[in-house]
Amino acid sequence: MGGLLGRAVDAGLALRWVGLAAREGGAGMCWSAAGTRLDGEEEADLRFDLASLTKPLATATLLLLARRDGLDLEQPVAEIVPELAGSPWNGVTFEQCATHTAGFPAWAPLYASGCGRDAYLDALRRVEPVAAAGSRVEYSCLGFLALGIALERAGGADLGVLFADLVAEPLGLAQELGFAPPADATVAPGERRWFVEERALTARGISAAPPPAPAGVWPCDDGNARGLGGVAGNAGLFGTAAAVARLAAEYLPGGGELLNAAEAELATRCRTDGLEQARGIGWQLASSPGCSAGPALPATAFGHTGFTGTSVWSDPDSRAVFVLLGNRLHPGGRTPDLHPLRRRFHTLAREAVGAGSHWDEGD
C-alpha cells in the first residue's frame, strides 16, 4: 500500500496521502506518503480539508436534531428559513436537500453578491432550478448550503457549535474533527491561492473575487464556505483519517455510540430509486454508476468524496471503513482524476484488513 501512495505522490496526484482501513472487531491499518517526510506523530495528528466529506458527516447533526427536536425530514426548508418562502425553493424539503434531489444547480458563487448568511439566502432566492424537486439527482453544493443554514435555525446555534456539541465531543473527536481549526493546527496545506475558484469565475464571466481566508483559522478551499467563516453544510470540516473513520462507522448497521440503528439505516438506505444515482441522506451508494467505490466494495457500500482529494467508503457487510485523504489542490490547484487510485486503494485495503462475511460468499 505504501508503494501505491508513494506512486501517487510521484505522479503528482497529491503531495500528501494518509490512508486508513479498519474493520470492526478486527485489524486496522494506516499508511502514509508525502513529498516531504512525515513522522509518526505528525501522521497521526494530520488534519485534511475534508471538502464535501462535510456533507455526509454533518448529516449526523440533522439526524440528531430530528431525534432531539422532532425535526421532520419531509418538512419544507422554507418553514425554518422563511427567507426562502415565495422563491423557487419554497417547497423543497430537508430530505431533498440531503439527497441532492431539490433541483439546485451544482454550484454558483453565492459570495459574488456578498458574504454571510443573509446575503447567501438572498442569492439563493435568485437561483433558478435545474429540475423539478424530486425528479432527478443533481449533485449540488447549494442544496447543502441551504441545509446548513436551516440546521442552524432549527438548532439555534452556529453549525460548527452544533456539530461539536452533538457529534464531535460525544465521540471524543473534538481535537480531530471540526470546522475552522486554529491556524496553529497540524493541517495538510491546500492551495496557495484560490486558483480553482478563480478559473471557475473567469469561465462564467464573473468579476468577483473568492472570499479571503478568515482570520486566525485554517481556511478551507471552498469559497462559499469561507464566505460563511469556514462553517457551512457543503464544506468546511477538517479532520484526521481516524476521526473520519470513527464517525463513518456510526452509520454501519446497528448504529453506534451516537446514532441508533434506525438513524443509521435511514441515512444509508437508497432514497432515490429510479433516479440517476443511488443516494441516501448525505451518502452516495456504491450502486451509483461510475462512483469511486470500485469493484472491491459491494453495491450496498456507502461513501463520499471531497474535491480536495479526500474520500471515505464503508462496507456494511464486512463492517469495514476505508479512508483516503489527500491534498491534491496543493499548491497550484491541480485537479487530477483520483477515482482509479481510490478504487485500487479499496482493493488493497480490503485485502489488508480481511474481507469478512461478504467476501466469504464466493466473491
Residue 218 clears pLDDT 70, i.e. is over it: yes
pLDDT of residue 1: 85
Dist. CA 210–CA 272, nearest whole Å: 34
> What is the pTM (predicted TM-score) of this model?
0.95
Say which residue the cell 457551512 belongs to: 232
1-353 adopts what CATH topology? Beta-lactamase (3.40.710)
**Tens of pLDDT along 266-317?**
999 999 999 999 999 999 999 999 999 999 999 999 999 999 999 999 999 9
Average pLDDT score over residue span 10-34: 91
**% residues pLDDT > 90 (the chain):** 92
Residue 51 clears pLDDT 50, i.e. is over it: yes
> Using N-to-C axis directions, what is the helix angle for 54-69 and 261-268, rounded to 10°?
130
**Tens of pLDDT along 163-192?**
999 999 999 999 999 999 999 999 999 999
The candidate with the shortest Cα–Cα distance to 174, out of 130, 239, 233, is: 239
Residue 249 clears pLDDT 80, i.e. is over it: yes
Say which residue the cell 446575503 belongs to: 119
Q: Any bridge partners for residue 17, and if so which?
A: 33, 326
Question: Helix, strand or coil for residue 143?
Answer: helix
pLDDT of residue 356: 45
Q: Which of 35-39, 58-62, 137-141 has the lowest mean pLDDT?
A: 35-39
Cell triple for residue 92? 423543497
Dist. CA 9–CA 15, nearest whole Å: 5
pLDDT of residue 215: 95
**Tens of pLDDT along 122-169?**
999 999 999 999 999 999 999 999 999 999 999 999 999 999 999 999
Residue 26 clears pLDDT 80, i.e. is over it: no
pLDDT of residue 280: 98
Average pLDDT score over residue span 244-257: 97
Dist. CA 62–CA 59, nearest whole Å: 5
Average pLDDT score over residue span 77-85: 98
Question: Helix, strand or coil for residue 33?
Answer: strand
Residue 44 clears pLDDT 70, i.e. is over it: no
Dist. CA 283–CA 191, nearest whole Å: 26
Dist. CA 175–CA 89, nearest whole Å: 36
Q: Which amino acid makes up residue 107?
A: W
Residue 357 clears pLDDT 80, i.e. is over it: no
Whole-number mean pLDDT of the chain? Answer: 94
Given a contact cutoff of 8 angstroms between Cβ atoms, the answer to whether 98 and 59 are in contact is: yes
**Tens of pLDDT along 318-328?**
999 999 999 99
**% residues pLDDT > 70 (the chain):** 94
